[in-house]
Amino acid sequence: MAAIARLHLPTSQIRITSCLFLYGSEANQRIGELIIEEINRLYNEPGATALVNGVNMQVLFDISYEVIAPSDALNMATSNESFYNNFIRIEAENHITRSFMGFGLGDNSGHWLTSDNLGTSTTAAHEFGHSLGLDHPANPDFRGSSSPPPIMAARGSFVDPQYQWNPLVKAGEYGGTMNPIHRRVSKEEIALIIEGLTFKETETYYIGYLSNNLFDRKGMVV
Ligand SMILES: [Zn+2]
């Protein structure tokens, strides 16, 4: 996802905004509402702050969505130069059987699956993190941490029993890996997103990059 980060001094906020243009067979208002609610809730939940010129700024996420026809997506994407605009195809399945963002971290295009329970499973928030440049943590073992697994934890990660699919089995056994529903955005992950944004020379930064790729129903680039 590309996004725009703006420093808003009157309210001591860094506001991160973008719009997800949803298209495809399963794109509708209901799924859009669910996705956006999950993303905004999870990314605002930690109440992250960042120090800018000695002042503590609240980091606020205000992500929106719009459902558009595939033909409109094509028209828009062909000439898109705005980091605000992201193109996400919503389908029931694709050729790799999982939701994904485009090629490389920070891409403004993706192919997400309703079979991943978008908006209720943390998958949408996880893919959104990739789109802002976040990678999976290098160490996929979160056991012993006092907090829930981070939003960028990959499926198959090791976690404390209460965050497993089955809390009763040992880590690594069947059911002994992370149930993604327990993932939460951490302050550290927000810090990674805004790392390097000094706001010394400018009040506006552009996050990610614009491939403007669109996908067909099965998830192949068109
Ligand atoms: Zn991932």
For residue 134, the CA-to-ligand 1 centroid distance in Å is 9
The pLDDT value recorded for residue 124 is 96
pLDDT band at 103 (very low <50, low <70, confident <90, very high): confident
pLDDT band at 196 (very low <50, low <70, confident <90, very high): confident
- Extended beta strands in 74-197, E state: 85-91, 100-101, 109-113
Taking CA atoms, 162 is separated from 90, 109, 151, 152, in Å, by: 31, 34, 16, 18
What contacts 173, CB < 8 A, 6 or more positions away? none
Give the pLDDT mean for 131-155.
94
To the nearest whole number, what is the mean pLDDT of the chain? 95
Give the pLDDT mean for 30-35.
98
The full set of domain ranges for the chain reads 3-137+186-207
For residue 127, the CA-to-ligand 1 centroid distance in Å is 6
Q: Is 156 helix (H, G, I), strand (E, B) or coil?
A: coil
For residue 53, the CA-to-ligand 1 centroid distance in Å is 33
The pLDDT value recorded for residue 162 is 97
Secondary structure element (H or E) that encloses residue 66, with its range: strand 55-67
For residue 41, the CA-to-ligand 1 centroid distance in Å is 19
For residue 16, the CA-to-ligand 1 centroid distance in Å is 21
* 46-55 pLDDT per residue, tens: 999 999 988 9
Hey, what CATH class is 3-137+186-207 in?
Answer: alpha beta
